[in-house]
Structure 1
Amino acid sequence: MSGGSEGTFCLVLHSHLPWLAHHGSWPVGEEWLYQAWAHSYLPVVDLLRRFAAEGRRDVLTLGVTPVLAAQLDDPYCLRTFHEWLGTWRLRAQHAGTLWRGGPELLRDLAAREHRTAEAALADFETRWRHGFSPILRGLVDAEVVELLGGPLAHPFQPLLDEGVRAFALRGGLADTALRIGHRPAGIWAPECGYAPGMEDGYAAAGVRRFLVDGPSLRGDTAAARPVGSSDVVCFGRDLEVTYRVWSPKAGYPGHAAYRDFHTWAHEVGLKPSRVTGKQVAPADKAPYDPALAADTLRLHVKDFVDTVVTRLRSLRDRHGRPGLVVAAYDTELFGHWWHEGPAWLEGVLRALPEAGVRVTTLRGALAAGHLGPPVDLPASSWGSGKDWRVWDGAQVADMVADNTALQERLLAAHVRTETRDPVRDQALREAMLALSSDWAFMVTKDSAADYARRRARVHTDRFDELVALLSADPDAARRRAAELHTEDGPFGQLDARDL
C-alpha cells in the first residue's frame, strides 16, 4: 500500500434493496434481489476476499443496510436464490443450443454465461449457504472493510417522528451487531437525508460518522467535518470525481462498448448486446464484444485514476496540505447495472496506490488527519436538487401524509407490556417496512411506481389490521401475525417494547 504522497482516496459502497421476499417476482420483486445478488454481491465479495488473502487492509468502506442483510441471511431467500442460480445455468445452456449456428460472439456469450453461472453456483454452495453475515464478519474482523450500518428498513429519516427515528436507528445498529458481532461506528444515512439537529440523535446512538452529498458542504469535501457542536463528523461525496463514473446524465457505464443493461434476448433471459448508442433501438444494437469492453475498461480505469490524482493535487495547491477524495456509489451499480463494474473496481483499487494515492476507509482517513473545522449542515439529501423533493415532493405528497398518519397511529397504539407480544412486534415490523424510502423514490422517479405504492399500502394496511385485531380478537390477531411473519419476517429480534 502506498504512503499516499498524492493524498487520500476513500471508496464507499452503499448496499441496499428494500424487502422483496414474498412480494412478487418479475419484473419487480424477488428477481431484483437475485440479479443484484448474483451480479453484484457475489463478485464484489469475491474481490474483497482476494484482497484479504493478499493481506490488504482498509480497502473500502462498505455500507450494508439491515433490511438487505436480513434478506441475504433469510432461509427462504437463500433457498430460492439457489434455485435461481440453477435456472440461470439452464438459461445459459439453452442459449448455447439456440445460438449454436449463430454469430461467434453470441456462441461465446452463451459459453461465458454458463461458466459464470457455474462459478456462482459453486461459490454460493461452498461459502454462502449459511448467509452473508458469516462472510461479512470475516471481512470486518480482518479489517479489509469498514462497515457502515443504518436504520432498520431504510427510512428517509428527516421525515420521521423523532421517537420513531431513534428507534429505527437503534434497532438497525443492534441488528448489525447481532449479525456480525460489531456495532458500526458509522452509517450511510438513507438517501444521505439530513435535517439540522440529527447529529444529536447520532451521538446518542453511538454513531461517530456519516455521509452527506458534496453540495451539503458547498463542495468543500477535502476533509471530514464535525457537525455543529457535536463530535459526530460528516464526510461529503466529491462529486467532481464521483460523477466521472455515474451521474444523473453521464458516466462510464453508458459507453458504447459496455454490455447493455436494458436489452434482453427474452427467449433465453440473457443480455446479448452492447450499448452501441443511446439512440439505437434494442433490435439494432451490436452483439456484446468482451474484448472491446476490456479495452474500454482499461481506458476508464486510467481516466479515473488520473481524475483522482488531478483532484488531489488541486486540493493540495488550494489548501496547502494533502487532501481527501470520497467517491460513493450504490454497490448494485457494480455488476448488476454495469456488467464490467466489478472489474473496474479491482482495476482502480490496484492502480491508485501505484499512482501514489493512499487508499483507505473513512476510519483510516480520520486516522490520517483529514479533519477540518466544524460545519453547520443544511437540510439535504443526495437526490434530485440535493434537497428532499424526491421523498417530500408534490408527486408523493399523499404518501408523506399517509406515513405521518401511520407514525401517529403507531405511537398512539404503543403499549409497553411485561412480555414480548408477537402481534405488536409484527405490527411494528409492518410499519417499518411501510416507511421505507424506496417507495417514494420509485414513485417520484416513475420506476415501477404502481408496485411501490402497492407495497407502501400493503404494509400500512397490515399494521392497521393487526392493531384492530388486538382489541377485537386477540387469538385471531396472534394467528394473523404468525401468517404475516412468514412473508414479512426480517428483524426477528425486533421488540415493540423498545419503541
Structure 2
Amino acid sequence: MSQPVGTFCLVLHTHLPWLPHAGTWPVGEEWTYQAFTASWQRVVRVIEALDRPDVLTLGITPTVAAMLDDPYTLRELHTWIANWQLRAAELAGRPEPHLKSLASYEWRAASACLDDFESRWMHGGSPVLGQLASSGTVELLGGPAMHPFQPLLPSRLQRFALAVGLDDARQRYGFAPAGIWAPECGYRPGLEASYVDAGVQRFLIDGPAVQGQTHAAYPVVGTDVVAFARDLEVTYRVWSPKAGYPGSAPYRDFHTFDHASGFRPVQVTGKHLPSEAKKPWDPAAGAAQASADADDFVARVRDRLVSLADQHGQESLVVAAYDTELFGHWWHEGPQWLAAVLRRLPEAGVRVTTLGGALAAGHLGPEREIPASSWGSGKDWRVWDGEQVADLVADNAKVADRLLSTVDDFGTADRDPVLDQLATEALLALSSDWAFMVTKDSAAHYARCRAAKHAAQVAELADLLYAGHRRAAETLAAQLRVVDGPFAHLDARQL
C-alpha cells in the first residue's frame, strides 16, 4: 500500500454484568448465552479469518472474562447452544415456507457454533482471547473489576477495583493490558494518577471531552497516560441514539419474534410498520445491504481522514468505538459488515491498526486537560448520577463506606475470606450497569433488585463481624462465594 491517507482504529467494548445464578429469563443468564452465540463468538471468527496483525482493539471486561471461564456458565452455555439446535429442528416442522427456510439457516448456525464451542471454548475463553492478543491480532483492553462508574467512587475503592481488574487479566492471559476501557468512558480529573500508579498507559473517552478534536490522542496533562477519543461523526454513521445502518429495511428485525420458537423471522421492512406487516427475512438481501453499507462506511472514513489531514496539515486518526454486542446480537448482519469493512479499508488506502499501533504511527497530540465526562446521554454523568438514580447513588455511597470502614476495623495481616467476599459483594453492588438500566428503563426492576441484593449482603456480612459472629460470617461468605465468586484472587488487604 502506498502512503496511507490516515489511520483508523476500531475499538470494541465487550461487557455484561455478572449474571450466573442471577435469574435466567427474561433477564439474567440468557443475556450471556445470546451475546456469546450471536455476537462474541462470531466476531472472534471474523477477526481470525482476516489472518493479519493489528486488526482492532478488543475490550474484554473482567466480568465477561470471568463468565467465559466460569464452569457453571460454560455448562449452561453448552446446553443453550444444543437447545438452539433443537428449536431449529422443531421450527422445520412448521408449514410456513419462510419458517422452513429460517429453520435451515438456524440449524446450520447452531451446528457451527456448537462445533466451535466444543473444540475451543468449552473449558474456558481465556486461551482463545489470550491467543488473539499474543499473536498480535488484537490489542486487548482491560478494566476495573465489576465495571463501576469510576468518577463516583472514593479514590481508595476506585484504585482497588482497577487493581483487581488488571490482576485478573494477568491471571487469565499472562499479562496486564496496556490500556483499559474506562467503564462508560467515565472520567474525572485526577483519575489519571491512579492509571499511572496501576501501569495503565491509555484509555477511552468520548469525542465531546476534547471538543471534537479527535484527530489525535492526547497525554493527560502532567502524565504519559494517553486518552483516545471517539470520532462521533464516523461512529454515529453506524449506530447513534437516533439512526444508523442497522435500521435499513433488509436487515433482520431485532424486535419481532416468532414466539413459539424464539427466532426473529422478519426484516425491518419499515421502521413504523407493525410486526405483522413486515416481510420475511431474506439472509441474501441482508448480506447485500451489509456489503453496500460497508462500502459507504469505508468511503466515509476515507473522506473524514482526507478532510482532517487538510485541516491539521498531517495524517490524522479516526477512532470508532462500539459495544461488541452491536455486531450480531442487536444487528444480525453486523459481523458480515465488520468483515467487509476491515478488508476494504486497507484497500482504500487507510491504515487499520490498534490503539497502540496508532501511537506507533505518530498520532499523538500535545498534553491536554480532560474534563469530567462520559459516553452517556449528555456526555456527562447524568445516567449514573441523575435524579432517576439518586437513591442508587446514595445506597452506593453507603456500600462503599461500609466496605472501607469494615476492612479498616477487621483487616489483619492475614487474608480474610469474609472481607474478600464483602469486597466482592460491594463491587457487584457498585456495577455501573444497574444505574444505566434504571435511567434507560431497561429491566429497571431487575437492576434495582440486583443492586439491593448485593448491598444487603454487604450489610449482612459486616453486621455479623461487628456482632462478633465470626463463624456465621465465614459460613455466609462461603455460601455467597459459590454464587458470586468471579475473582478468586481478589484480596481485600489491597484496600
* Both structures adopt the same fold (TM-score exceeding 0.5): yes
What is the identity, as a one-letter code, of the residue corresponding to 2:428? L
Pair 1:400-2:393 in alignment: yes
Moved more, 39-48 or 67-76: 39-48
Q: How far did 1:49 drift?
A: 2.2
Cα offsets for 1:465-488 (capped at 9, x unmatched):
111122332222111111111111
Pair 1:75-2:74 in alignment: no
The match for 1:344 among 330, 337, 350 is 337
Pair 1:177-2:173 in alignment: no
Q: How far did 1:197 drift?
A: 1.4
Structure 2 residue aligned with 1:13: 12
Percent of aligned pairs with the same amino acid: 61
The match for 2:370 among 377, 380, 385 is 377
The match for 1:494 among 469, 490, 494 is 490
Structure 2 residue aligned with 1:267: 260
Pair 1:425-2:424 in alignment: no
Equivalents in 1 of 2:184, 2:64: separation in Å? 15
Structure 2 residue aligned with 1:436: 431
**1:4, 1:353 within 8 Å by CA — same for their partners in 2?**
no
Structure 1 residue aligned with 2:89: 93
**1:244, 1:304 within 8 Å by CA — same for their partners in 2?**
yes
The match for 2:249 among 256, 262, 267 is 256
Structure 1 runs (4+) deviating above 4 angstroms are none
Equivalents in 2 of 1:487, 1:432: separation in Å? 14
Pair 1:168-2:161 in alignment: yes
Pair 1:63-2:54 in alignment: no
Pair 1:484-2:477 in alignment: no
Moved more, 233-242 or 480-489: 480-489
Question: Could you list the runs of 5+ residues in structure 2 that have no partner in the other structure?
Answer: none
Equivalents in 1 of 2:196, 2:202: separation in Å? 9
Q: How far did 1:498 drift?
A: 1.0
What is the identity, as a one-letter code, of the residue corresponding to 1:235? F
Residues 321-332 of structure 1: matches in 2 within 5 Å?
321-332=314-325
Cα offsets for 1:279-303 (capped at 9, x unmatched):
1112222110112112211110000
The match for 1:354 among 344, 347, 370 is 347
Q: How far did 1:3 drift?
A: 5.3
Q: How far did 1:24 drift?
A: 0.5
Equivalents in 1 of 2:96, 2:382: separation in Å? 49
Q: How far did 1:460 drift?
A: 0.4
**2:411, 2:419 within 8 Å by CA — same for their partners in 1?**
no
Q: How far did 1:393 drift?
A: 0.3
The match for 1:447 among 430, 437, 442 is 442
Alpha-carbon spacing, 1:255–1:388, altered in 2? closer, same or farther (3 Å): same
What is the identity, as a one-letter code, of the residue corresponding to 2:62? P
Residues 2-41 of structure 1: matches in 2 within 5 Å?
2=1, 5-41=4-40
**1:391, 1:440 within 8 Å by CA — same for their partners in 2?**
yes
Pair 1:113-2:106 in alignment: yes
Equivalents in 1 of 2:248, 2:23: separation in Å? 32
Alpha-carbon spacing, 1:379–1:294, altered in 2? closer, same or farther (3 Å): same
Equivalents in 2 of 1:293, 1:106: separation in Å? 17
Cα offsets for 1:376-414 (capped at 9, x unmatched):
111000000000000000000110011011111111101
Equivalents in 1 of 2:26, 2:273: separation in Å? 23
Equivalents in 2 of 1:447, 1:403: separation in Å? 20
Q: How far did 1:344 drift?
A: 0.6
Q: How far did 1:4 drift?
A: 5.1
Alpha-carbon spacing, 1:417–1:346, altered in 2? closer, same or farther (3 Å): same
Pair 1:222-2:221 in alignment: no
Structure 2 residue aligned with 1:278: 271
Q: How far did 1:255 drift?
A: 1.0
**1:214, 1:237 within 8 Å by CA — same for their partners in 2?**
yes
Cα offsets for 1:204-226 (capped at 9, x unmatched):
11011110000001000001111
Q: How far did 1:108 drift?
A: 1.3
Q: How far did 1:374 drift?
A: 1.0
What is the identity, as a one-letter code, of the residue corresponding to 2:15? H
The match for 2:455 among 453, 456, 460 is 460
Q: How far did 1:372 drift?
A: 0.6
Residues 116-131 of structure 1: matches in 2 within 5 Å?
116-131=109-124
**1:390, 1:444 within 8 Å by CA — same for their partners in 2?**
yes
Equivalents in 2 of 1:418, 1:197: separation in Å? 30
**1:3, 1:358 within 8 Å by CA — same for their partners in 2?**
no
Equivalents in 2 of 1:93, 1:4: separation in Å? 52
Equivalents in 2 of 1:43, 1:5: separation in Å? 29
TM-score (norm 2): 0.98
**1:65, 1:150 within 8 Å by CA — same for their partners in 2?**
yes
Equivalents in 2 of 1:420, 1:495: separation in Å? 7
TM-score (norm 1): 0.97
**2:185, 2:205 within 8 Å by CA — same for their partners in 1?**
yes
Question: Could you list the runs of 5+ residues in structure 1 that have no partner in the other structure?
Answer: none
What is the identity, as a one-letter code, of the residue corresponding to 2:33? Y
Equivalents in 2 of 1:256, 1:482: separation in Å? 52
